A and B are shown apart, each in its own frame.
Chain A
Amino acid sequence: MLALAIRRILATIPVMAVVAIIVFSLLYLTPGDPAAVLAGEQASIEDINRLRSTLGLDQPFLVRFSQWIGGVFQGDLGISIFSQRPVMELIVQRLEPTIALTIASLFIAVTIAVPLGVIAAWRAGGLIDRMAMSFAVLGFSIPVFVLSYILIAVVSVDLKLLPVQGYVPIAYGIGPFLEHLILPALSLGIINAALIARITRTTMLEILNQDYIRAARAKGLSVRRVLIRHALKNAAIPIVTVIGISFALLISGVVVTETVFNIPGLGRLTVDAILRRDYPVIQGVILVFSATYVVVNLLIDLSYSLFDPRIKY
């Protein structure tokens, strides 16, 4: 049913509107003088005043907001205070490494987590299950940067197998591109695998108790076939949903991983913007990341009908 799909798509509009309002209003809602904070401690009164008019803080809230939101619709996210270039341009330049890192991490996370969760549920209470779930708790607890440094210490410094840091665009050759991508994607992937593995296990456990699973086993189907064709297929929706939710984790992970591995992506852009107090860039990056998060979760919602024919859009 198309109507349902359209309704779901329309439902993202208020969410995005609220995001835009929040991101924009922060400048006005925070106590104190944001212009003074952003200008830094050494700034003169003139500097602060110049910054205030650049940010439009001397204009009424609604005037400034309508200008800003009008610009956003035309792809104009403002001008960077530091580099004086359009924020949109800066973001587009930094997209490739971040997209590559995100996709590779997600791929690694799913490849580790889903089989692990399925086997853990199948052997619930056993040694594999306990090891898998210990791994999952550990994954929640180790900060991405600590894991990154452990991987760098072992793989790059001791074994000298992979480069310590840096990024090579895919256009410069797939070999060097992958070589630089493996470690950051692995750090981020392992952390995200924890959440997905746990949900996979919980969902599979519920499904494996169902009568139709017993029936499938009783009629002589192999364990593998029952696990994959009968159980995992029915567990798909919660698993895919949590992958969408874990996308938020992935985004904050990207910011950190890019810093550790010195990857010139959106995360690095954010961190540089923090150090330079370049608020328009921070604002733009938040808006882009949040929009991506909302769209990814929308696509996941819409994909439910692929896994369950009873859900029709």
Chain B
Amino acid sequence: MSISAITQTPSSPTGLMRIWKRYPNIIIGGAMLAIAVFAAIAAPWLGTIDPQTIAPFNRLEVPGTEFWFGGDLVGRDVYSRTIYGARISLAVGLGVVVIGIFFGLLIGILSGFVSWVDQILMRVMDGLMAIPSILLAVALISLTGASLKNVIIAISIAEVPRVARLVRSVVLQLKERPYVEAAITAGTPFILILWRHILPNTLAPLLVQATYIFASAVLTEAILSFIGAGTPPSTPSWGNIIAEGRTVFSIAPHIVMFPGIALSFTVLGVNLLGDGLRDIFDPRFVSRT
């Protein structure tokens, strides 16, 4: 099903208008993500100051013309921190997608082709999936220490089983296809079968899955920072800014609201993009959880 779906992808030169008409989610979601990416890359030139600069007179300052998003508990500029926060969130999203898909692909292909390995790996994956991902990440980070790298690794480990299961189910289906059977019978080298037949067919479902992983990783990072198991507290990540604003929420709600909006905006964009891609590819294996 995914094979025919790929060939149906609209790809004519005038495609953008047609995509907009048929899949508005891709355009809207893509634009929202692009804005977040732009903010992350161009952070120093967007009227920001050093996100760590402490200006005591700016403590809990309400949003105004000088400090657009107001000041936080110690007088740092919430606007600058929020804009720089995009860097942390997107780095986590991207890192988790790359690591999660790489290892998920490896494990999925391995268990799809080698049945005795499959038994063992799938039991391990079942066990990993039974542990709520936040708690798994919490345990890993409390043992390894809070750093951006450890946060990315911890969230990736929780995502690997989902990718592995997806890839495995694609491999198992493809193995039954006559052309793959024929290729195996004809003695085609395994690498070639992988490259020609398996990987191209995992691309579409993986692309959709990647958006969901990205969205969930960004949310998880924020939750981890919020509960104190994420990036070190001084890092201007959205979860950290919100966590710091928690205690003064009733008198200075802006500290929580602006990074909260940025976070929801980014995740919403990625989710819309993912839904749009899913509508095009319709990969039935992909599930959100």
Question: In the bound complex, do residue A283 and residue B130 qualify as a contact, i.e. CB atoms below 8 Å apart?
Answer: no
Q: Give the Cβ gap from B23 to chain A, nearest Cβ, in Å.
A: 14
Question: In the bound complex, do residue B264 and residue A146 qualify as a contact, i.e. CB atoms below 8 Å apart?
Answer: yes
A252 nearest CB neighbor, chain B only: B134
With known contacts A15-B127, A140-B215, A252–B133 Cβ distance under 8 A: yes
Partner of B263, one of A14, A26, A27, A143: A143
Residues of A within 8 A of B143 (CB): 26-27, 30, 34, 37-38, 279
With known contacts A141-B215, A259-B227, A37–B144 Cβ distance under 8 A: yes
The interface centre, meaning the residue of B126, B131, B228 with most chain A CB atoms within 10 A of its CB, is: B131
B133-171 contacts to A (CB < 8 Å): 133-136, 138-140, 142-145
Q: Provide the bound-state CA to CA distance between A205 and B139, in Å.
A: 41
Question: In the bound complex, do residue B223 and residue A256 qualify as a contact, i.e. CB atoms below 8 Å apart?
Answer: yes
Residues of B within 8 A of A252 (CB): 132-135, 220, 223
With known contacts A26-B139, A285-B135, A18–B226 Cβ distance under 8 A: no
Residues of A within 8 A of B132 (CB): 248, 251-252, 286, 289-290, 293
Check if B272 is an interface residue, CB within 8 A of chain A. yes
Check if A277 is an interface residue, CB within 8 A of chain B. yes
Can you list, as one digit per residue, whether each of B236-264 has a CB less than 8 Å from chain A (1) or not (0)? 00000010001001100100110011011
Q: Provide the bound-state CA to CA distance between A260 and B267, in Å.
A: 21
Question: In the bound complex, do residue B140 and residue A26 qualify as a contact, i.e. CB atoms below 8 Å apart?
Answer: yes
The interface stretch among A85-93, A110-118, A119-127, A149-157 is A149-157
Question: In the bound complex, do residue A145 and residue B242 qualify as a contact, i.e. CB atoms below 8 Å apart?
Answer: yes
Q: Provide the bound-state CA to CA distance between A242 and B228, in Å.
A: 30
Can you list, as one digit per residue, whether each of A272-294 has a CB less than 8 Å from chain B (1) or not (0)? 00110101001101100110011
Residues of A within 8 A of B275 (CB): 137
With known contacts A138-B268, A252-B223, A271–B228 Cβ distance under 8 A: yes
Question: In the bound complex, do residue B288 and residue A290 qualify as a contact, i.e. CB atoms below 8 Å apart?
Answer: no
Check if A32 is an interface residue, CB within 8 A of chain B. yes
Partner of B271, one of A140, A145, A152: A140
Check if A31 is an interface residue, CB within 8 A of chain B. yes
Check if A234 is an interface residue, CB within 8 A of chain B. no
Check if A207 is an interface residue, CB within 8 A of chain B. no
Count residues of B near A (Cβ-Cβ below 8 Å).
46
B229 nearest CB neighbor, chain A only: A274
Question: In the bound complex, do residue B215 and residue A279 qualify as a contact, i.e. CB atoms below 8 Å apart?
Answer: no
Q: Provide the bound-state CA to CA distance between A157 and B256, in Å.
A: 15
Q: Give the Cβ gap from A194 to chain B, nearest Cβ, in Å.
A: 9
Residues of B within 8 A of A249 (CB): 289
A15-51 contacts to B (CB < 8 Å): 15-19, 21-23, 26-27, 30-32, 34, 37-38
Question: In the bound complex, do residue A274 and residue B138 qualify as a contact, i.e. CB atoms below 8 Å apart?
Answer: yes
Residues of A within 8 A of B250 (CB): 157, 164
Q: Give the Cβ gap from A103 to chain B, nearest Cβ, in Å.
A: 17
With known contacts A27-B143, A252-B132, A270-B138, A143–B268 Cβ distance under 8 A: no
Question: In the bound complex, do residue A141 and residue B135 qualify as a contact, i.e. CB atoms below 8 Å apart?
Answer: no
Q: Provide the bound-state CA to CA distance between A26 and B154, in Å.
A: 11
Q: Provide the bound-state CA to CA distance between A276 and B263, in Å.
A: 28
Check if A303 is an interface residue, CB within 8 A of chain B. no
Q: Give the Cβ gap from A261 to chain B, nearest Cβ, in Å.
A: 11
Check if A181 is an interface residue, CB within 8 A of chain B. no
Question: In the bound complex, do residue A195 and residue B138 qualify as a contact, i.e. CB atoms below 8 Å apart?
Answer: no
B47-80 contacts to A (CB < 8 Å): none
Using a CB–CB cutoff of 8 Å, the interface residues on chain B facing chain A are 123-124, 126-128, 130-136, 138-140, 142-145, 215, 219-220, 222-223, 226-229, 242, 246, 249-250, 253, 256-257, 260-261, 263-264, 267-268, 271-272, 275, 288-289
25 residue pairs bridging A and B, Cβ less than 8 Å apart: A16-B127, A18-B126, A19-B130, A19-B131, A21-B127, A22-B127, A23-B131, A37-B142, A37-B144, A145-B260, A149-B249, A153-B253, A248-B133, A248-B289, A251-B134, A259-B227, A271-B228, A282-B135, A282-B142, A286-B131, A286-B135, A286-B136, A289-B132, A289-B135, A290-B135
